[in-house]
């Protein structure tokens, strides 16, 4: 085969950037059964029949999703896959490069060492959706060992993008575009929560100012962004049954979070001054306390005395948290890390544990309202 290509060199090793259409290399049947792929490309996938394979089993859901993405209005992927023409087995040989053209040995195979799901997605799009587009590919020409090493360095050492950064970036994109691009699964509630977490972390009046570790915030090792985003998203969803507009929901959620956390900061100052030795600002505290605040919405709203938003003041939350029914739980000692006895930390750090702590606090809060109404 001959391809127009751009040659590049890194530390005496050579690669070639080119492109090819699916119709140029894939000759097999569909649905795909044999991942060796009939044609010019192969995937060295570990299986019962291929004990020496090094790639994990593919996920049909992933490659079909990519194929459908290609069929959408946003369907553009400039990221090249990487393939190797092996110099040490019968499927390969030595390539030549002259005048901007890469010539591969006759009947050679290209072993895909990065991008198998994208490749299978391109094939799915071609066979099922009639999309035959250029696929960018970097071709290397080396032995099998170096091919496997390339797979390891590309796939084994890279870190996935942090979820809070993904949420922040996707929220900004959706708002700028005025639509949700294909494949973006963020709900409206989650995008509102992303914005609210940013507000809580930057507003001078917020009790959580500079407490939340977010991309670019400069805050390290205190509250994590994801628990705040997730638990506030839950709160927004719960408030949706009580209000008609997004503005009302966001306003009520912000009011509740600002005043409740201000009361918590007054009651538990050590948790904020020494967050590493308390779980109040860690995932357990964030999920439990935000869920408590959300769950007690109706009891706060129905309490006697003040009306409207006045029922959700800092003073109202302080009275509830410092009451005889709750004070045994709403203090720094109960939220210390590694506390012996019956502190929050002794229940564990799973979502099941968080639910247990939440039930304890909700029961105490309900007792407070029962005794004061």
Residues 6+ apart with CB under 8 A from 26: 37, 38, 39, 40, 41, 123, 126
**pLDDT value at position 172?**
72
Instruction: Give the DSSP letter of residue 292.
Output: H
Q: In what order do the strands lie in the sheet with 13-21?
A: 6-10, 13-21, 134-140, 81-84, 110-114, 41-42
214-242: average pLDDT: 88
Digit-coded pLDDT (tens) for 282-321: 999 999 999 999 999 999 999 887 777 889 999 999 999 9
Digit-coded pLDDT (tens) for 83-119: 999 999 888 899 999 999 999 998 888 999 999 999 9
Instruction: Give yes or no for a contact between 80 and 137, defined as CB atoms under 8 angstroms apart.
Output: yes
Residue 61 has which token pair? 């859901």
Partners of 84 in beta bridges: 111, 140
258-268: average pLDDT: 97
Instruction: Give yes or no for a contact between 129 and 67, defined as CB atoms under 8 angstroms apart.
Output: yes
Question: Which residue do the tokens 């009639």 mark?
Answer: 130
229 or 157, greater pLDDT: 229
Instruction: Give percent of the chain with pLDDT exceeding 90.
Output: 63
**pLDDT value at position 305?**
76
What's the pLDDT band for 124 if we cut at 50, 70, 90? very high
- Whole-number Å distance between alpha carbons of 59 and 64: 9
Which of 323, 322, 319, 259 lies closest to 293 in space, CA to CA? Answer: 259
Question: Which residue do the tokens 């900061």 mark?
Answer: 265
- Whole-number Å distance between alpha carbons of 250 and 195: 10
What's the pLDDT band for 270 if we cut at 50, 70, 90? very high
**pLDDT value at position 51?**
75
- Whole-number Å distance between alpha carbons of 148 and 309: 62
Residue 323 has which token pair? 């009451």
Residue 348 zone, left/alpha/beta (φ > 0; ψ -120 to 50; rest) = left
**pLDDT value at position 48?**
73
- Sign of the CA dihedral running 228, 229, 234, 239: positive
Instruction: Give yes or no for a contact between 317 and 263, defined as CB atoms under 8 angstroms apart.
Output: yes
Burial-class residue 133 by CB neighbours within 10 Å (0-12, 13-18, 19+). Answer: middle
**pLDDT value at position 156?**
63
116-126: average pLDDT: 93
**pLDDT value at position 40?**
81
- Give the chain's mean pLDDT: 89
245-260: average pLDDT: 95
Digit-coded pLDDT (tens) for 341-354: 679 999 998 999 99
**pLDDT value at position 33?**
66
* Pick from 21-35, 64-78, 261-275, 353-367: least confident: 21-35
**pLDDT value at position 268?**
97
Residue 12 zone, left/alpha/beta (φ > 0; ψ -120 to 50; rest) = left
Instruction: Give percent of the chain with pLDDT exceeding 70.
Output: 92
Which of 188, 181, 191, 187 lies closest to 69 in space, CA to CA? Answer: 181
Residue 272: asked if its preceding bond is cis (omega within 30°), the reply is: no
């Amino acid at each position: 085969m001959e391809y127009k290509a751009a040659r590049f060199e890194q530390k005496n090793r050579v690669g070639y950037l080119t492109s090819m259409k699916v119709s140029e290399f894939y000759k097999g049947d569909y649905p795909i059964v044999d991942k060796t792929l009939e044609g010019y490309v192969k995937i060295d996938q570990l299986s019962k029949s291929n004990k020496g394979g090094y790639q994990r089993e593919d996920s049909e859901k992933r490659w079909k999703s990519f194929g459908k993405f290609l069929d959408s209005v946003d369907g553009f992927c400039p990221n090249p896959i990487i393939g190797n023409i092996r110099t040490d087995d019968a499927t390969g040989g030595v390539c030549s490069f002259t005048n901007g053209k890469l010539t591969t040995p006759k009947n050679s195979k290209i072993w895909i060492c990065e991008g198998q799901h994208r490749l299978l997605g391109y094939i799915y799009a071609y066979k099922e959706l009639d999309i035959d587009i250029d696929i960018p590919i970097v071709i290397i020409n080396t032995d099998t060992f170096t091919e496997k090493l390339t797979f390891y360095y590309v796939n084994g050492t890279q870190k996935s993008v942090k979820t809070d950064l993904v949420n922040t970036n996707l929220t900004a994109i959706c708002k700028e575009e005025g639509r949700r691009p294909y494949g973006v699964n963020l709900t409206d509630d989650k995008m509102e929560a992303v914005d609210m977490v940013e507000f809580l972390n930057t507003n001078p009046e917020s009790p959580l100012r500079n407490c939340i570790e977010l991309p670019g915030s400069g805050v390290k090792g205190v509250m994590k962004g994801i628990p705040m985003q997730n638990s506030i998203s839950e709160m927004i969803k719960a408030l949706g049954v009580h209000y008609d507009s997004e503005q009302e929901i966001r306003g009520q959620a912000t009011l509740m979070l600002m005043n409740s956390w201000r009361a918590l900061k007054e009651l538990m100052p050590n948790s904020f001054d020494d967050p590493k030795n308390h779980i109040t600002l860690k995932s357990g505290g964030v999920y439990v306390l935000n869920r408590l605040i959300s769950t007690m919405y109706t009891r706060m709203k129905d309490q006697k005395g003040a009306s409207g938003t006045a029922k959700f003041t800092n003073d109202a939350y302080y009275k509830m948290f410092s009451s005889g029914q709750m004070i045994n739980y709403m203090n720094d000692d109960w939220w210390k890390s590694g506390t012996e006895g019956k502190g929050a930390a002794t229940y564990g750090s799973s979502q099941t544990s968080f639910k247990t702590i939440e039930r304890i606090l909700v029961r105490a809060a309900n007792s407070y309202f029962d005794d004061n109404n």
